[in-house]
Amino acid sequence: MSHSGTGPDSVVSFENVSKHYGSLKAVDGLSVSLRPGETVALLGPNGAGKSTSLDMLLALRKPTSGRIRMFGSDPYHAVKSGRVGAMLQSGGLMPEVTVRELVTLVAGFHPRPIPPETTMKRAGIADIAEQRVDRLSGGQTQRVRFALAISGDCELIVLDEPTTAMDVETRQLFWANMKAEVAEGKTLLFATHYLEEADQAADRILVINRGRLLADGTPAEIKERAGAKRMSFRLNRVDEPFLLSLPGLVNLEIRNDLVHIQTTDSDDTLYALLGAGYRPRELEVGSLGLEQAFIAITAEDDRANTGTPASPVEERI
């Protein structure tokens, strides 16, 4: 399932990259590559090293060891040549200017600028063009940050938690705009803690924990990797000790007559239930959702590494 090879056509490649802060390994031997036209979600719990990885990619921090290549060059030159657009969590926007003035200013610095009117339309902020930047709501500020990221004709777009502070409607609009960008053949890398967003928007998901890559695959592959299936059904008579003894059982939840089970083998679990004379009603069997799979994968890694959890130091994780 791994796609971590660094082929000649890769847009970005991390080759055994580490970043240490004293004894803390924020990123620990990360090797991965992104191909043209991919939409890739970077998932990990707080302190996993997501923002540190993006900062190194954008030449804002230097790796302690390893090498990062972007468009066959080093990150600094790729960013400087205008091939990369980025939207980060940190850094304020210039106050006391209008949205139009700010977008126009940033486009003016870009080696390959796009007309500000076009950018504002694409980012869904044309209607707030005359508002002052320091008087915007959280969601509007995020959309302005996005506009700045796409104010030039870039081939790679990097977004760190782009939809924080957006309401559901604004978030949907944002992703519709983002998909239009990607449809033009651009590569998109985004970190998010909204797992349903990663599930819907990404072709490929990278799961990192403690600065290491744990899983790399399509959303379906990541769910499969967690191994378990979920079952739910109703029973007239609930016998908890018996249900706990079912083969393949990973997790059991009972609410009145409704039973929710996670199991590594849904067939075995069901046959054992039927074999004991139970007749479940309203039976549903399905794969784990991305959120449950993500929790299962990172929890398994945390159990394997019983040391102290990674802490965020001064980084934006």
d(CA 27, CA 50): 8
d(CA 306, CA 26): 17
Q: How many CB atoms lie within 10 A of CB 41?
A: 26
Residue 9 in tokens: 């056509």
Q: What is the pLDDT of residue 2?
A: 43
Q: What is the pLDDT of residue 184?
A: 87
Q: How many CB atoms lie within 10 A of CB 140?
A: 20
Alpha carbon 234 to its chain centroid, in Å, reads: 35
Question: What's the full length of the chain, in residues?
Answer: 317
Per DSSP, 127 falls in state G
Global pTM value:
0.79
d(CA 285, CA 289): 12
H or E segment and range at residue 70: strand 65-70
Task: Give the pLDDT confidence of 202-216 residue by residue, as tens digits.
Answer: 999 999 999 999 999
Strand, coil or helix: what is 15?
strand
Instruction: Please give the C-alpha separations between residue 289 and each of 4, 227, 306, in angstroms, as whole numbers.
Output: 24, 11, 26
Count CA within 13 A, CB hemisphere, residue 178. 30
Instruction: Note whether 63 and 17 are within 8 A (CB).
Output: yes
Task: Give the pLDDT confidence of 121-166 residue by residue, as tens digits.
Answer: 999 999 999 999 999 998 899 999 999 999 999 999 999 999 988 8
Task: Give the pLDDT confidence of 245-286 residue by residue, as tens digits.
Answer: 999 888 899 999 999 998 888 999 999 999 999 999 999 998
Q: What is the pLDDT of residue 306?
A: 59
Q: What is the pLDDT of residue 7?
A: 52
228-287 carries CATH number 3.30.70.100: yes
CATH number of 12-223: 3.40.50.300
Q: Mean pLDDT throughout 232-241?
A: 93
Using pLDDT thresholds of 50, 70 and 90, give the confidence band for residue 8.
Answer: low
Instruction: Note whether 150 and 119 are within 8 A (CB).
Output: yes
Strand, coil or helix: what is 122?
helix
Task: Give the pLDDT confidence of 15-36 residue by residue, as tens digits.
Answer: 999 999 999 999 999 999 999 9
Q: What is the pLDDT of residue 287?
A: 79
Residue 159 in tokens: 């977004």
Task: Give the pLDDT confidence of 56-93 residue by residue, as tens digits.
Answer: 999 999 999 999 999 999 999 999 999 999 998 877 88
All structural domains of the chain with their residue ranges: 12-223, 228-287
Q: Which residues pair with 100 in a beta bridge?
A: none
Task: Give the pLDDT confidence of 108-127 residue by residue, as tens digits.
Answer: 999 999 999 999 999 999 99
d(CA 73, CA 185): 20
Strand, coil or helix: what is 241?
helix
d(CA 187, CA 181): 9
Mean pLDDT of the chain: 89
Residues 6+ apart with CB under 8 A from 24: 310, 311, 313
User: Would the CATH topology of 12-223 be identical to that of 228-287?
Assistant: no
Per DSSP, 98 falls in state B
Using pLDDT thresholds of 50, 70 and 90, give the confidence band for residue 42.
Answer: very high
Using pLDDT thresholds of 50, 70 and 90, give the confidence band for residue 296.
Answer: confident
Which of 105, 101, 104 lies closest to 116 in space, CA to CA? Answer: 104
